[in-house]
Amino acid sequence: MIKIAVTGPESTGKSTIAAQLATRFNTVWVPEYARSYVATLDQPYTLDDIEAIARGQLALEQEMQLQANDILFSDTDMLVLKIWSEHAFGHCPDWIQRQLEQQDYNLCLLMGVDLPWEPDPQREHPHLRQFFYHWYKRELEALGAPFVEIFGQEQERLELATKHVEALLTQR
């Protein structure tokens, strides 16, 4: 099974590209568990909620992996939860950090911030996208994770991401 994480700041097309790639490669994708979780909250999220979201994301990924056709696209990863947790609460739970260090994605697609911001009640930082982008890139480099940067408008992003996925498949 080839696993590809789509990661990066808010409003960079992660869900869109994950769904498009899954369609293009005739497989399934793992949606961002945080969206459904946060939608049910009747109060601001807490560090405990981020931990619950991380656990839910991992469980959802395992579930979707059973349905995947040799390749799985994940619309988030533990890096998203680590950065979210550290920015919001100044701390990342140790077990999320351990899960991050054990991630076994064959490739991470780091989504650039050159798409227009799309307002959404769950999005928080339109003015910090470049800040977060650099944070994601530093973290991926420090982890030694295989990643590529994806820029451009929607069609360009899909073509670039497809090219990298196809290259990974031919190396297999």
pLDDT at 47: 95
pLDDT at 112: 97
pLDDT at 172: 77
pLDDT at 122: 75
pTM of the model as a whole: 0.94
What is the chain's mean pLDDT, rounded?
Answer: 94
Q: Which residue segments constitute the domains of the chain, with CATH numbers given?
A: 2-171 (3.40.50.300)
| Confidence grade of residue 49 (pLDDT, cut at 50, 70, 90) | very high
Residue 121 has pLDDT above 80, yes or no: no
Neighbours of 62 (CB within 10 A): 10
Place of tokens 């982890």: 143
* pLDDT (tens digit per residue) in 60-100: 999 999 999 999 999 999 999 999 999 999 999 999 999 99
Residue 123 has pLDDT above 80, yes or no: no
